[in-house]
Amino acid sequence: MQRNEATDRIYQLEKELLDLRENAASFEDLIMSSPIGVYRTTPDGRVLVANQALAELMGYASVKDLLQQNISEQGYAIDDYRSIFKETIERLGRVTGFESAWRRRDGSLIYVREYARVVRDESGAVIYYEGTIENITEKTKTETLLKESLRQIRRTFQELVETLSEAMNIRDPYTADHEKRVAALSYAIAVELGHSDGFANILRTAALLHDIGKIYVPAELLSRPGDLRKEEMDLIKVHAEAGWEILKNVSFDQPIAEMIRQHHEKLDGSGYPRGLKGDEIMLEARILSVADIVEAFSSHRPYRPAFGVAHALDQIEHMAAEGKLDRKVVAACLRLFREKGFVLP
């Protein structure tokens, strides 16, 4: 290599080194000015590198005050958080979105989210952890408030449904608690059929309101002893469609109004109000229908004595054989009473 060429090469290498240093410095600036906390710590938690955002997050005036502190001892509000963090990062090599509660220097509590990785030497020994910490206290507080509001709304909704159901008892005291018992049985059948608690709860709500349309039926007709004439029966039958009419504009998560509209339909098309057949009738309505019949036959009515549960079960078995009721739903209901000791509340 000529002397001049060697000088040029040295000059070039020096320039590349300078560029690298500048790049590293500007990258360090970027980290130091990041609004998210950045750190590097020894595995036992001693701070080796930190930025201003992390110092502020931990309640220190400057990075210098924070360096050499042990954030694992001071930081995690509960020791369990630290052990879960250590166990995860050393097993997986990283933690992603790890959320925990931290104590700041003044003792106040904050919620943070961490992304971090473990750096090892050639022998596999841990040299340090490095990562980011984000303060999510406000977000966590807002989420907690929202969850509490949602719980409150659900509670209020449930109480309204139960109150509405109770209100029907005033007009029709002879069938008091009919809806409650149908609700308990519908819920149990849904669970016996392997459906989720969510599905069963929706059914419970529909059952609590299934006869709300009887508000359209004259009270004396509901409680009159003796057989009803055909016109009177027709008037009572209006309640299924009326129930749908009352509830159709309520924004339930599920089509509860439609379940109620179909609760007197029969699979062979002999039911009312629309004479729907087979798959036209939704599963929820098929369950309601079975529970409704069992409860009605088991209980006393103004125009007849109670037939008892055994008779009620024979009745649905017979109706399933005739193709009127869903066989699987009926089988589940029979299992509940005959094998699993279910009793109507």
Residues that bind Fe ion (CB under 5 A): 211
Please state the closest distance from residue 260 (CB atom) to Fe ion, in A: 8
- Please give the Cα distance from 222 to 132 (Å, whole number): 69
187 contacts 263 by C-beta, under 8 angstroms: no
Please state the closest distance from residue 173 (CB atom) to Fe ion, in A: 17
Which CB, 132 or 262, lies closer to Fe ion? 262
Which CB, 86 or 264, lies closer to Fe ion? 264
- Please give the Cα distance from 5 to 3 (Å, whole number): 5
Which CB, 192 or 265, lies closer to Fe ion? 265
Please state the closest distance from residue 321 (CB atom) to Fe ion, in A: 23
Please state the closest distance from residue 239 (CB atom) to Fe ion, in A: 6
- Please give the Cα distance from 90 to 98 (Å, whole number): 14
Say whether 7 sits in a helix, a strand or coil: helix
Please state the closest distance from residue 311 (CB atom) to Fe ion, in A: 19
Question: Side chain identity at 343, as an amino acid letter?
Answer: V
Which CB, 273 or 323, lies closer to Fe ion? 273
Please state the closest distance from residue 309 (CB atom) to Fe ion, in A: 19
The dihedral sign for the CA sequence 114, 119, 120, 126: negative
- Pick from 281, 264, 285: which is nearest to 273 by CA? 264
- Please give the Cα distance from 104 to 60 (Å, whole number): 9
Work out the end-to-end distance of the chain between its first and last CA atoms, rounded to an integer number of angstroms. 101
Please state the closest distance from residue 151 (CB atom) to Fe ion, in A: 32
Helices (H) and strands (E) in the chain, counts: 14, 5
Which CB, 172 or 211, lies closer to Fe ion? 211
- Pick from 192, 223, 186, 219: which is nearest to 205 by CA? 186
- Please give the Cα distance from 9 to 115 (Å, whole number): 42
Which CB, 103 or 237, lies closer to Fe ion? 237
* Residue nearest Fe ion, CB atom distance: 211
Which CB, 38 or 208, lies closer to Fe ion? 208
